[in-house]
Each structure stands twice: as C-alpha cells, then as structure tokens.
Structure 1
Amino acid sequence: MLKRIKWYILPVLLCAITYPQMLLSQDSLWAGIPAGTYQVGEKNNIQNPLRKVTINSFYIATCEVTNGEFEKFVLATGYITEAEQYKDALVFEPGLEEFRWITDSSACWRYPNGVSRGDIKDKMNHPVTCISYNDALTYCKWAGVRLPTLEEWEIAATAGSRSRYFGKVTQRNVHLYANIWHGNDHLLPDYSDGFLYTAPVASFKPNPLGLYDVLGNVFEFCSGSLPRDNGRKVAHARGGSWWCSVNACSFFNTKDIGSVNPHASFSNQGFRVVKKIL
C-alpha cells in the first residue's frame, strides 16, 4: 500500500499590511480580495519566515466545491478520479485510534466513506471529498478557475486578523464557524453539531469576508510549495476538517499547513477555487 497519507504540521502566521476587504462580485458566490502587499509567515520559523508578499486582486469562492458541482464536471468530461483508479482512498469510522484511517477500495467521491457508509444522493450540497490534488487541478482546468496559493488562502481566510482565527473567533467558540470533531477522542461517533462527517456548505457562520468553512468541514488544497518540500512532489492543504479536534490535529485555524502526496485521497479532503477579477 502506498505510504502517502501522512500530514506534516507547520504553523504559519499572517499579519496583514494591506487588509482584505469585500470587493463587489457579479454574484454572492465570490468574495473579492484587493491587490496589495501583505505580511505572512512568522518570526523564527525556518519553513515559513515572516515576509511580505505582493498579490494581484482575485475572487475566491465563498464555499468549497460541492458534490453537485463536481458531478457536472464528471458528466461533462467522463473523468475518473485517482481514488477510482487506484482504489486506495482513506476513510474513517468511529472506533479507530487517533490518526488511524481505513483504506477502502470502494471509496471515491460518489461514496466518500465507502459504499457501506452510503452515497452522496442526498448530499449534493456537501463538499466533494476523496479528491486528490491532481483531481482538483483537472477540475480547475475544466472550470476555468484555479486553486488559491498558500498565501492567497491565508489572506482571505484570516480577513485581516492577526490571530489564528479571525474576528473574535477563539478555540472556545470555533464550533459556531466550523464543522469539527467535538469528542475527546475518535472512539465514539460525534453528532454534537448534527454532522458525523461533512456538513452542507455554508452550514456555519462565515468569516468577515463571507467565506464559509475555512476552519472546518474539509481540508482545502492550495497551490505552492514550502522550503521543507526539498524538491519533492508534495501537495499542501489548509484549514480544518470535520475530523479535526482539540485533542487531535487542531488544524481548525488559518495558520497550519498540511502536506500530502498529490495522488492521495481522503474522506476529509476537498478544495475551494479562485479566479481573476476582470
């Protein structure tokens, strides 16, 4: 079995020099981020040092790509995801020890937790999962969009805040903004927020720019690389997921960056897209 599933944790901090603000878009599905110079990274962080980055303006989707949107892509192109090809997607069910996952040959975007755990028939407004980085890139090419860079995602998600969250969000009230795991461990199912796995997009409060689910629901792929990659082909993702808890992972913030093999597919892994402001 391919050993391509481990997430490597690296916290990064953002202090905005130019503060993001909502720009007018043609509809409510996109939030505009103005061009400018922003400060990202943190002091004494070898992998992500404190630095200034200059970006062009862009629109970022207010929600993660859904099963319904991905289905349109598949119907139009006949695309077969890597999880369907390799039959090696990793899924979760309560009862597993921390950071343990199950390789399920039946799992794919249509059956994100395996055939035995149900399909997406009634979940077309949930974020698509069991998507590899390469799958996400292929979708973006078809849709005429792209993945946000690591810096773009952080600037938009933090919305000008210098904290690990945004606005007045803390670890105590993050559950109002994110679909995360509330149990002390993963041995028992957690329905405390109404969802065991993914939730419909925009089920929780948005950040100040109108972006939903940046702190939870699914990890979101971003483009770009880190010094620690050392030339390796590594994909990176940001935000938290429904699996993340205070006691395990704690990725429900705007700072940490995860790394995974570009071919890997998880049931808590999806993506959000951006496009140019014309």
Structure 2
Amino acid sequence: MGDAHGEGLPPDGETPVHLVEMRVFAIDETTVRNRDFAAFVAATGHRTTAEASGSSTVFHALVDRDDPAVLGASVDAPWWLAVQGADWRHPAGPRSDLDGLDDHPVVHVSFDDAIAYCAWAGRALPTEAQWEMAARGGLPGARFPWGDEREPDGRSMCRIYTPSFWGAPFPGEPASRVGVAATLPASALPPNGFGLRQVIGNVWEWCADRFDPRYYRRSSDVDPGGAERGGARVLRGGSYLCDDSWCRRYRVAARSHSTPTSTAGNVGFRTVGRG
C-alpha cells in the first residue's frame, strides 16, 4: 500500500509504502449504480442525507449560477455550489433527473447512506486496504490500475478531464460544461487485471475506515481496518474533477476524506461481501 512515486500530498498520508497481507474477499465490479440504489430506496423507503437536509453540493459548471436553487458557493472551494433540491435523483439540482443515467454511479450519497444500502444488500463498504488491493489489479506500486502511464499508446484510459477539455485550467468556465454529463456509466472503459471498472476518475468512493494521515506509520500488516479514532471517513479513487492542473488524486495510492454526512455530485461507493 502507499505512494511508491512520491507524488502524494503530505496531509493525505500516502506514505510510508508498506506490505499488507489480505484474506480473500469479493468486491463489486462497478460502483453502485442509480438503478441499484433506486431498488434499495423502493424496498426500504430510505431518505438520503441530502434529501433530509434539502441540499447538496454541485460542481459550478453543471448548474446555472442564476438558478434560484443555488444557495451559495463554498468559501474554501468556490467551484462547489450548494444547491437546494440536489440529491441522488437530481444530480445537477431540481431541474435535472436520472433520464439515461440508470447505469451511472449514484452520487450525492453520504457515508451514512452507503452504510444503509450495505445493510439492506447484505454487503459492506470495503476497507481502504481492500479497495487499494482490488484497484491495483495485480500491479504492485503502479500509479494507475493499468500501469504507470496515464495514456498508454496514446489511449485515454482513465476518466480524467484535461485542461484542453475544460477550455481552461481547473475549474474551467461554466459554459464549457453545459449539457455534458459529469459521470460515465459505471461499466465504461476496460477493466483492470482483477475485472474492476472505473476504480479511478469517475466518482470518489467511500471506504469503511476512519481517516488518519498518520495511520500508515502504525497500521497492521494483516487486514488493516483503519484508525480507531477520527470523525472523517476515507474516500478513494478520485473523480471526474481530478486533473493535473489541480490535483493528482486519480492515482491508485491517493487518499482523501470527508465527514460521514457530507454529500456531493462526485461521491459514490462500491461494496464487498461480508467476511
């Protein structure tokens, strides 16, 4: 586990690189899709964190800033807008819907929502170690699930927008993204060596672990389960907003975190079988 190339941000705690022994486990090929989450909601009546709070965060280029549903921008990240009525059914705000997005990853789901889904499905969130082992696809130390080159043989293998796509360095201009779906279908692009798809660059994925940037210094070398304390939970995989002009967290070793009740248009999850 860990960043073998020295590319991570120190606060993310991607080092030291360390060997981890894992028991066999089964993990989803893709992130949980909108159709999967809809079945869960239909069966349980679950109301998501975003629905209960009445709003969630949407990338600025996916919604008109003059839309009355826009409540305001984040002080620390002004490209994120709080949008009233944004939730898993309305990923870009109340004027949007899931038409044509059944196979896209569900977004605007909190860690708590993911846990509720897992309880219904008889599954669990992967530990951070399980996620990284599965995402590597059998390539120890590689930057990406397919190797070290971002675009091997000139082919774009990851779902990463570039400055040329945005028309400007991240976060780009709103006009450059109007009418373009942010996510790709969960099964898009080739699988890695273990058969997993979209493990990087589509949506961030919740993991079971509590986040601690110092955890790798003392973690167990057999089936580590994360820090014992801490309010934030680990996120892995990067999203459609990761770009070289802003961050490089679409690497397999990259770590991030958020609070269990946070929601956004670029966060989803996949599950593992319970041990």
Give yes or no for the alignment of 1:154 onto 2:132: yes
Cα distance between partner residues in 2 of 1:106 and 1:254: 33
How far residue 87 of structure 1 moved from its aligned partner, in angstroms, is 2.1
Tell me the TM-score normalised to structure 1 length: 0.76
String of CA shifts for 1:43-89, please: whole Å, max 9, x gaps.
Answer: xx967433333322111111110000000000000000000011231
CA positional deviation for 1:159: 1.8
Aligned AA (1:124): D
Task: State the partner residue of 1:120.
Answer: 98
Q: Which amino acid aligns with 1:241?
A: S
CA offset at residue 14 of structure 1? Answer: 6.7
Matched, 1:82 2:80: no
- For the 8 Å contact 1:62–1:212, the answer to whether it is kept is yes
Residue equivalent to 1:144:
122
Give the match for residue 201 of structure 1.
Answer: 186
1:13 maps to a residue whose letter is D
Q: Give the partner amino acid of 2:54.
A: K
Q: Distance in 2 between matches of 1:123 and 1:227?
A: 34
Distance change >3 Å, CA 175–CA 231, structure 1 → 2: farther
Shift of 1:149: 0.5
Q: Which runs of 5+ in 1 are unaligned?
A: 1-10, 16-40
**Are 1:180 and 2:180 counterparts?**
no
| Count of residue correspondences | 236
In 2 relative to 1, CA 46–113 (structure 1 residues): closer, same or farther, beyond 3 Å?
Answer: closer
The corresponding residue for 2:223 is: none
The CA deviation at 1:257 is 0.7
Large movers: runs of 4+ above 4 Å:
45-48, 95-99
Q: Report the 3-state secondary structure (helix = DSSP H, G, I; strand = E; otherwise coil) of the residue aligned with 1:104.
A: strand
- The CA distance in 1 between the partners of 2:261 and 2:211, in whole Å, is 18
Identity of aligned residues (%): 30
RMSD: 2.9
Q: 1:112 Cα deviation (Å)?
A: 1.1
- After TM superposition, give the deviation of residue 135 of structure 1 in Å: 0.4
- When the two structures are superposed, what TM-score results if normalisation uses the length of structure 2? 0.77
Which runs of structure 2 are paired with 1:244-263 in the superposition (5 Å)?
Answer: 244-263=242-261
Aligned-partner residue type, residue 17 of structure 2: L
Q: CA deviation at 1:196?
A: 3.9
1:134 to 101, 112, 121: 112
